[in-house]
Amino acid sequence: MTDTRQPVVVVSGVRKSFGETAVLDDVDLEVLEGTIFALLGPNGAGKTTMVRILATLVPPDSGAARVAGHDVVADPDGVRASIGVTGQFSAVDDLLTGKENLQLMADLNHLGRVAGRARVDDLLARFDLVDAASRLVSTYSGGMRRRLDLAMTLIGSPRVIFLDEPTTGLDPRSRRQMWDGIRNLAASGVTILLTTQYLDEADELADRIAVLDHGRIVADGTPDELKRRIPGGHVRLQLSDSPTLRAAAALFDGATLDEERLVLRVPGDGDVASLRHLLEQLDDARIAVEDLSIDSPDLDDVFFAVTGPPSLEEEAA
Amino acid sequence: MSTLAYTVRDSATMLRRNLRRLRRYPSMTLLLVGMPIVFMLLFVYVLGGQLSHGLGSEYVAGHTGRAGYLNYVTPGILLMTVAAAVQGTAIVVAMDMTGGIIDRFRTMAIARSAVLTGHVLASLIQTLLSIGIVLGVAVALGFRPTAGPLEWLAAIGVLTLFSLALIWLATALGLAAKSVETASNTPMFLTLLPFLGSGFVLVASMPTGLRQFAHYQPFTPTTETLRGLLTGTPIGTDAIVTIAWSVGIALASYLWARHLYTRRRST
């Protein structure tokens, strides 16, 4: 498959240490224009540091990073003119109203009076903040703050957006709203790099995922590619008694029995054709199944498979 | 637009932001302007009657007792107003630096100096307003300056220059502080300096060591210059020393603040 889209974010061989600790260790990344790229990893994996390097907040120790054609070290202002950043901690002014925060961003983006005002009103409406527009941000809920934060990032119509854990700490409803907002952005052609520690979030949003662990990329690919790396999908059959269980087990290669719970696990990814075949075999052998369910591997399985089990130290932390 | 035009425009935007914040958070300004007023009332009404006896006739401009002491103490109180007001500068700078919004500013293509310039200009306006309020109270209590238009202009110039120096110093202290609490404490020593100079009593009345400190610290020549301009006491070389101190403090603090602001990038 050839992709004609250009890479907008290119990271090659980036290293960064704070003191003795290597936070990023030879990281390579490429994000294509108009796609959503998720950098997935546990706390302390180096996700935020990667975003801070791309956002020109900290320079890498070695290696190179280019955003929209500009080098983050040699031409930080070129990068800044093309990006929008929403960090982990909300970057809003509590002593201003929502509208004033957006107006401040419009002024700093040199939008001009009329265009700036139109853009502010448009974003207030898009992020469902019209009613709260003239309230001080200190009275906003967590979800509203995040929405305002993202709206402020969008004022200058950036080509590339970095979102550092955009939904951490949000309730499920606000999280859904944020996801919709991110999808709409990508649909409008903006390139998005987001970090997350939630596997379902990466699965839900991203075109490509890179798994970062201890400063290294340990796996990358599309969500489906990553899932395919993990064997372990199976169809779970609940049977009524032990003899039936044995009879059923004899039908399938590699099936595992759970005598205690009378459960049979048949390997397979549970697509319609193989499922139909499985049911036909059971019918032919006149075996009645009490219950059937499909367990497909999710990104959690991928995650633990590539990062290994958490060490004791991490579990304590 | 040229780089300079953008710098001016971004600084103006930041100034508007900071002035708006000051309006939203008036309790801090009121608290900071209240302090020198309380000291003025205490010193004039509680101690002034007694203290006025130690002053030479040239300091009281023909007034006696409390009225004479009010005449003497007002310039020192005005400088104390500056010292109190810049505590607010350190606080708001530290609030910005410890919050998330500074990272947003740093990732935008805006003039690098605009963030600090916006803070300094807003603080200057706030400080000059505070001086105006305290001066108004002094006049209401009976302070009668003898200054003509030229002396007033020079006095405003001295106050502005001295304010700028302390504001840049407080900005650097605010940047250096790890927390807002620290930032609200570190500039506090500035409000003590008028006492350790010619703000409240004659330096000549102090013990030797203290007298030498008082003689050489920046508040003393500044107090003397302001007193001379407002009430006609002799100024002499104090004017030039005042300008040298103010320019020196402003420049050193500006460089320190700029260093702290850019250094934060790599942490």
Q: Calculate mean pLDDT across residues A18-44.
A: 90
CA pair distance B251, B176, nearest whole angstrom? 17
Report ipTM for this prediction: 0.85
A70 located within any domain: yes
A110 neighbourhood in chain B, CB within 8 Å: 1, 6, 9
A57 neighbourhood in chain B, CB within 8 Å: 103, 106-107, 265
Task: Give the nearest chain A residue to B26 (CA atoms).
Answer: A95
For residues A249 and A205, state if they share a domain: no
Q: Which residues of A touch B (CB under 8 A)?
A: 55-59, 77, 80-81, 83, 85, 87, 89-96, 100, 104, 107-110, 136, 152-153, 156
Residue B61 in this model has a pLDDT that exceeds 70: no
Structure tokens of A12?
């090659």
For residues A238 and A224, state if they share a domain: no
A302 located within any domain: no
Instruction: Give chain A as a DSSP string.
Output: ----PPEEEEEEEEEEEETTEEEEEEEEEEEETT-EEEEE--TTSSHHHHHHHHTTSS--SEEEEEETTEETTT-HHHHHTTEEEE-SS----TTSBHHHHHHHHHHHTT--HHHHHHHHHHHHHHTT-TTTTTSBGGG--HHHHHHHHHHHHHTT--SEEEEESTTTT--HHHHHHHHHHHHHHHHTT-EEEEEES-HHHHHHH-SEEEEEETTEEEEEE-HHHHHHT----EEEEE-SSHHHHHHHHHHSTT-EEETTTTEEEEES---HHHHHHHHHHHHHTT---SEEEEE---HHHHHHHHH-SPPHHHHH-
CA pair distance A75, A53, nearest whole angstrom? 13
CA pair distance A163, A174, nearest whole angstrom? 16
Residue A316 in this model has a pLDDT that exceeds 70: no
pLDDT band, residue A231 (cuts 50/70/90): low
pLDDT digits (tens, 9 = 90+) for B1-32: 578 888 999 999 999 999 999 998 888 889 99
A269 located within any domain: yes
pLDDT band, residue A70 (cuts 50/70/90): very high
Residue A317 in this model has a pLDDT that exceeds 70: no
- The contacts of residue A291 (CB under 8 Å, 6+ apart) are A237, A238
Share of chain B above pLDDT 70, in %: 97
Quote the pLDDT of residue A260. 85
For residues A282 and A213, state if they share a domain: no
CA pair distance B233, B145, nearest whole angstrom? 11
Residue A75 belongs to a domain with what CATH number?
Answer: 3.40.50.300
Quote the pLDDT of residue B111. 86
For residues A188 and A269, state if they share a domain: no
For residues A153 and A265, state if they share a domain: no
Q: Calculate mean pLDDT across residues A306-314.
A: 55
When CB atoms are compared, the residue of A80, A95, A107 closest to B24 is A95
Quote the pLDDT of residue A45. 86
Quote the pLDDT of residue A309. 56
pLDDT digits (tens, 9 = 90+) for B118-129: 999 999 999 999
Q: Find the range with the poorest average confidence among A147-156, B43-52, B57-66.
A: B57-66
Quote the pLDDT of residue A288. 86
Task: Give the nearest chain A residue to B108 (CA atoms).
Answer: A80
Share of chain B above pLDDT 90, in %: 68
Share of chain A above pLDDT 90, in %: 45
A274 located within any domain: yes
For residues A56 and A166, state if they share a domain: yes
Q: How many domains does chain B have?
A: 1
Residue A170 in this model has a pLDDT that exceeds 80: yes
Quote the pLDDT of residue B267. 42
A55 neighbourhood in chain B, CB within 8 Å: 103, 107
Between chains, do A110 and B107 touch, taking CB under 8 Å as contact? no
Quote the pLDDT of residue A299. 65
Chain B closest-CA separation from residue A144 CA (Å) = 16
pTM: 0.82
For residues A102 and A238, state if they share a domain: no
Task: Give the nearest chain B residue to A106 (CA atoms).
Answer: B13
A108 neighbourhood in chain B, CB within 8 Å: 10, 13, 105, 108, 110
A28 located within any domain: yes
Element (H, E) at B236: none
B13 neighbourhood in chain A, CB within 8 Å: 104, 107-108
For residues A223 and A131, state if they share a domain: yes
A2 located within any domain: no
Quote the pLDDT of residue A230. 66
Quote the pLDDT of residue A313. 45
Q: Find the range with the poorest average confidence among A240-254, B73-87, B143-157.
A: A240-254
Residue B194 in this model has a pLDDT that exceeds 80: yes
Residue A159 in this model has a pLDDT that exceeds 70: yes
When CB atoms are compared, the residue of A89, A108, A136 closest to B108 is A108
Provide the 10 A C-beta neighbour count for residue A179.
15
Structure tokens of B201?
């009593």
For residues A81 and A214, state if they share a domain: yes
Average pLDDT of chain A? 87
Q: How many domains does chain A have?
A: 2
Domain interval for residue B258: 3-266
CB B128 within 8 A of CB B216: no
Q: Calculate mean pLDDT across residues B244-267.
A: 86
For residues A22 and A38, state if they share a domain: yes
pLDDT digits (tens, 9 = 90+) for A199-223: 888 888 999 999 998 899 988 899 8
Residue B245 in this model has a pLDDT that exceeds 90: yes
Quote the pLDDT of residue A312. 46
For residues A284 and A180, state if they share a domain: no
Quote the pLDDT of residue A308. 64
Between chains, do B110 and A87 touch, taking CB under 8 Å as contact? no
Average pLDDT of chain B? 91
Question: Does residue B112 belong to the interface with chain A, where contact is any CB pair within 8 Å?
Answer: no
- Structural Rg of chain A based on CA atoms: 24
Quote the pLDDT of residue B20. 93
Domain interval for residue A288: 234-296
Residues in chain B: 267
Task: Give the nearest chain A residue to B23 (CA atoms).
Answer: A95
For residues A199 and A289, state if they share a domain: no
Residue A315 in this model has a pLDDT that exceeds 50: no
Between chains, do A96 and B20 touch, taking CB under 8 Å as contact? yes
Residue A310 in this model has a pLDDT that exceeds 70: no
CA pair distance A31, B120, nearest whole angstrom? 41
Quote the pLDDT of residue A6. 86
